[in-house]
Amino acid sequence: MTRDGNSRVVITGLGSVSALGLDTDRFWTAVKTGQSGIAPLQGFADAALKIKLGAQVKGFDAAAHFSSRDLPLLDRYSQFALMACREAIGQAGLEPAVLHDAAAVIGTGCGGKETDEITYAHLYKEQKSRAHPFTIPKGMPSAAASQVSMQLSIAGPVFTVSSACSSANHAIAQAALLIRAGVVEVAIAGGTDAPFTYGLLKAWEALRVVSTDNCRPFSADRSGLVLGEGAGMVVLESERHARRRGASILARLAGSGMTADAGHITDPSADGAARAIRAALKDAAIDAQSVEYVNAHGTGTLANDRTETEALHRVFGTHAKALMVSSTKAMHGHALGASGGLEFIATVLALREGIIPPTINFTGPGEGCDLDYVPNVARERKIRVAISNSFAFGGLNAVQVLQAI
Amino acid sequence: MAMDIETIVKTAIANQKMIDVESISLMTSLQDLGVTSLDAITIVYEVEEICDIEVPNDELENLRTVQDIVTGVQSLLAKKVQV
C-alpha cells in the first residue's frame, strides 16, 4: 500500500524530561555515550523501602518552569508532560493557529499518583476529614492532557491513553491514526509518568520485579527493572503539511502495530509481541529483512527479555541475528507510561544521526538471549529502518516502525 | 501461632487457586497446581503477613513444591527466633 503525502506521518519535534536530563540534547548525549541516570533513591527514608535505586529526574525546580498561579494544579506527571511538549513544539516551530487545531494524545500508566497519595495520607494517616479540592483535577489520569491543552492552547482532539508500559506507544499510534484519517494535520503525542511515590513504590516492591542492584537487560545476571520517571513527547504531522510549511523533518513514522496477548495479567507472551511487530511492519508495508535496529522493551526482568528475544526470532527468522537490539532502559530506567516516548525519541535520533544506542551494564547473554544487544558501547551505523517495542503488563503491545528521511 | 506452617501455606495456596485445601499435599508440585509467578508472590505475601517474615526474592525462584514453601518459611521463622 502506498500512502500519499496526506496520510504519510512524519516527526518534526522531540521533547523529553528524564533522569538523563531536562531536555532532549542532554538525553541523547547521555544515551549515545552510555551514561546511566540510575542512582540511589532520593526522598525516602532508607529503611522504609527495599527498592534502593531509581532513575529520578534530577535538578528539576518546578517553580523555575511554571508560574505560582499554575503550579498548585500541576501534579509532577503533568509538569513533565508540559516540559516535554513545550520542547517538542518549540523544535517543530508550530504557529498558534496550527496548534489550535492540533490533537494531543498523552499516555500515562499511573496518572497523578503523588496528588492521590498526599490526599490519602491526609485522610487515612492523619485522620483528617476533608480532601483538598484540587485532588481530582490535579490527580486525574487525564489531568496532564488537559494541562497540555490549556497551557499550549491545543484545542483539537485531546485525550489520555493508558496501557501501562505501552501507554506512550499506544498514544503515538492513536495520534498517527488521527492524522492518517484526516481528522487533524498535526498532533503531539507521547507519555508521561512520575511513579516515585511511597505507596506506588511499595506496590512495585510487592511484584518482586524491581532490581535491588542495577538494570542489566538481556544479561545472564539480570535481576529486574529499575523504575524511572519523566516524559517523552513528539510532534507528528502529515508529510504534506510539514513540507508545505517548510518544517525540518526528523524521520517518518512508517507504521504502528497493536495487539493484545489475551493471556495473563503479568506474564508476557512471545506470540502477542510477535504479532504486534508483524502488524507494525504490515502497516508500514516494510519487509522484515529491511529492519536494522530494534529499540527493545528490554526491561531487565527475567520474563520480558527472554520472551522479547523469542518474539524477535519468530518474526525475523534468520535475519534476527543481523539485527542490532538495544534497551535504553538501563540508562533512563523504566519510566512506565513515558518509556515508549523516550525510546521513540532515541530511535528517531538513532536514524537521524547514525548512532545505535547501547545496552549498558551488559555482562554477558542470559539464557534464551542470543542476539546482538549492542553491548555497553554505542555503534556508529547509518540505518534506514528501525522499530521501537512496548509490551505492557496485561499483555498490551504496541510497536512503531520508523524510517529515515 | 494458631495454625501450623503447613496449614498456613496450604490454605494460602487453596485461597489463591480457589481449590480445596484437602487436595494439596506437601509433595504437590506448584506447576501441577497451575501456580503462575503472580500466584507465587501472592501466596508468599499471604504467608509473610501471617507469619511476620520477609521472604527474599531469590528464594522464590527455587520453589517447586508445597514442601519447598513450608521448609523455607520454617527456616525463616527459625532465624527470626534466633534474632
Tell me how far apart the 2 most distant CA atoms of chain A are, in Å. Answer: 63
Which chain A residues are within 8 Å of B37, Cβ to Cβ? Answer: 266-267, 303
Which residues of B are less than 8 Å from A206 in CB distance? Answer: 41, 45
B57, B58, B61, B62: which to substitute to probe chain A, counting the most A Cβ within 10 Å? B57
Give B20-42 pLDDT, tens digit per residue.
999 999 999 999 999 998 999 99
Question: Which contacts of A90-98 are long-range, i.e. CB under 8 A and separated by 24 or more positions?
Answer: A90/A13, A90/A15, A91/A12, A91/A13, A91/A14, A91/A15, A91/A24, A91/A235, A92/A12, A92/A13, A92/A235, A92/A237, A92/A247, A93/A12, A93/A13, A93/A247, A94/A13, A94/A186, A94/A235, A96/A153, A98/A185, A98/A186, A98/A245
ipTM: 0.79
* Residue (of A373, A405, A250, A347) closest to A27 by Cα position: A347
CB contact under 8 A, A265 and B57: no
Q: A238-264, pLDDT tens digit by residue?
A: 999 999 999 999 999 999 999 999 999
Integer Cα distance of A125 and A120 in angstroms: 8
* Chain A residues closer than 8 Å to B35 by CB: none
Question: Torsion angle of alpha carbons A280, A286, A288, A291, nearest 10°?
Answer: -90
Edge to edge, the sheet with strand A385-392 lists A158-161, A103-107, A186-193, A230-238, A9-17, A251-260, A396-403, A385-392, A293-295, A324-326
- Asked if B37 and A266 come within 8 Å (Cβ–Cβ), the reply is yes
> Domain B5-17+24-82 is in which class?
mainly alpha
- CA nearest to A224 within chain B: B57
Domains in chain A, CATH or no CATH each? 9-244 (3.40.47.10), 255-403 (3.40.47.10)
Point out the residues of chain A with pLDDT beneath 70.
1-2, 5-6
- Which of A208, A223, A267 is the best residue to mutate to test the B interface, defined by the most B CB atoms within 10 Å of its own CB? A208
Residue of A170, A241, A332, A334 marked active site: A334
How many angstroms separate the Cα of A54 from the Cα of each of A214, A294, A334?
Answer: 9, 25, 9
Closest CB to B38 among A212, A224, A266 = A266
Summary mean pLDDT of chain B = 91
A264 shares contact with chain B (CB less than 8 Å): yes
* Active-site residue (options: A165, A170, A215, A369): A165
Residue in A closest to B56 by C-alpha: A208
Tell me if A164 sits within 8 A of A266, measured CB to CB: no
Regarding pTM above 0.90, the answer is yes
Torsion of CA A28, A30, A31, A32, to 10 degrees: 80
pLDDT digits (tens, 9 = 90+) for B44-69: 999 999 999 999 988 888 899 999 99
In chain A, residues with a C-beta closer than 8 Å to the C-beta of B38 are: 264-267
Cβ B37–A267 below 8 Å, yes or no? yes
In chain B, the N- to C-terminal Cα span, in Å, equals 18
Contact B41 A303 (CB under 8 A): no
How far apart are alpha carbons A75 and A79 in whole angstroms?
6
Verify whether residue A334 is a known catalytic residue. Answer: yes
Predicted confidence band of residue B83 (pLDDT cuts 50, 70, 90): low
Task: Delimit the domains of chain B by residue range.
Answer: 5-17+24-82
Is it the case that residue B1 has pLDDT exceeding 80? Answer: no
List the single residue in A206, A208, A266 with the smallest CB-CB distance to B60: A208
Cα(A366)–Cα(B49) distance, integer angstroms: 34
Q: CB–CB of A266 and B57 under 8 A?
A: no
Q: Quote the minimal CA–CA distance from B60 to chain A in Å.
A: 9
